[in-house]
Copies of this chain bind each other. A is one copy, B any other.
Amino acid sequence: MHTRALNTPTAMPVSFPRSERLAPGVANPALGGNACTRCRLRQRCLPTGLSEENLREFSTLIFSPRRVKAGQALYRAGDAFDAIYLVRRGFLKSIMLGEAGREQITGFHTEGDVVGIDAIGSERRTTEMVALEDSEVCGIPYARLEDMSRHIPALQRYLHRQLSEEIVRNHSMMFLLGTMRAEERLASFLLSLSERLTARGFSPSEFILRMTREEIGSFLGMKLETVSRAFSKFQREGMILVESKHVRLLDPEALQRLIGRQAQPQ
């Protein structure tokens, strides 16, 4: 039935950009110093423009990959902030906790993403990072990264770009939460998910949601029932096919149009 690879943990991407693959499951030679240069994600996660020597030096920074099982936390609010992480495999959510048991998901993260960078400047974590499926991350001790970025300009630029991207993402999220209605939010969510998966070599139109309706709702600032109804409506109107976690976008332009219409001057 499916002709395209889905974004399941087992499926390999169909057209992985510059596919440079290590046999899946092969243990990373612990701190080999050049582990990164052989990583299948190096195009995506490493700073560009490093010399061979710099790359080797950078490589020594990195902790050997750490596993985080589904449901487990990579870090919790209150933990000391001492490292940022590169997601090597899997899928995670970051959560912000407030008073009265209120909480909100502030992001979903998958392979190639840098996570945990938001705590820079504070001593402790203010958010929590929890795996939604079995995942693997590479830690980079932040103090050493900061040091090293002082004499490797490309690394400094890399760090700043990551921070900047975090800020830009947050801004679009504020925009979404501040100006869009429920259906627009969901449409926007689906399109951006599709975009991110495409950039990783997966099918742009068909994917598996790794999170529950409740988690989508938390992220988008709405209740799970509203998420569910919006999914059903999109399906009824022929824009998507949805069956539980399995989604297929039939008419992305329609979703885009749904977002675009609103509010003209005067």
Give per-residue flags for A59-75: 1 if the beta carbon is below 8 A from chain B beta carbons, else 0: 00000000000000000
Cα–Cα distance between A102 and B176 once the two chains are bound (Å) = 11
Could you say which residues of chain B place their CB within 8 Å of the CB of A38? none
A150 nearest in chain B by CB position: B150
Interface positions, chain A 150-203, Cβ under 8 Å from B, are 150-151, 153, 156-157, 160-168, 170-171, 173-175, 177-179
Cα–Cα distance between A220 and B151 once the two chains are bound (Å) = 42
Could you say which residues of chain B place their CB within 8 Å of the CB of A220? 178
Cα–Cα distance between A119 and B164 once the two chains are bound (Å) = 7
Could you say which residues of chain B place their CB within 8 Å of the CB of A98? 175, 179
Cα–Cα distance between A262 and B104 once the two chains are bound (Å) = 14
Interface positions, chain A 203-226, Cβ under 8 Å from B, are 218-221
Query: Is the pair A178, B218 in contact by a Cβ cutoff of 8 Å?
Result: yes
Query: Is the pair A100, B262 in contact by a Cβ cutoff of 8 Å?
Result: yes
Tell whether A127 is near chain B: CB-to-CB under 8 Å: yes
The winner among A100, A118, A121, A146 for most chain B CB atoms within 10 A is A121
Query: Is the pair A221, B120 in contact by a Cβ cutoff of 8 Å?
Result: no
Q: Given A178-B221, A261-B100, answer yes or no on A171-B120 (Cβ-Cβ < 8 Å).
A: no
Query: Is the pair B156, A262 in contact by a Cβ cutoff of 8 Å?
Result: no
Tell whether A39 is near chain B: CB-to-CB under 8 Å: no
A177 nearest in chain B by CB position: B177
Tell whether A96 is near chain B: CB-to-CB under 8 Å: yes
Query: Is the pair A174, B173 in contact by a Cβ cutoff of 8 Å?
Result: yes
A265 nearest in chain B by CB position: B101
Tell whether A24 is near chain B: CB-to-CB under 8 Å: no
Cα–Cα distance between A262 and B100 once the two chains are bound (Å) = 6
Could you say which residues of chain B place their CB within 8 Å of the CB of A151? 150
Q: How far is the CB of A103 from chain B (nearest CB, A)?
A: 8
Query: Is the pair A153, B156 in contact by a Cβ cutoff of 8 Å?
Result: no
Q: Given A150-B151, A150-B156, A178-B221, answer yes or no on A171-B259 (Cβ-Cβ < 8 Å).
A: no
Interface positions, chain A 96-129, Cβ under 8 Å from B, are 96, 98-104, 106, 118-122, 126-127
Tell whether A263 is near chain B: CB-to-CB under 8 Å: yes
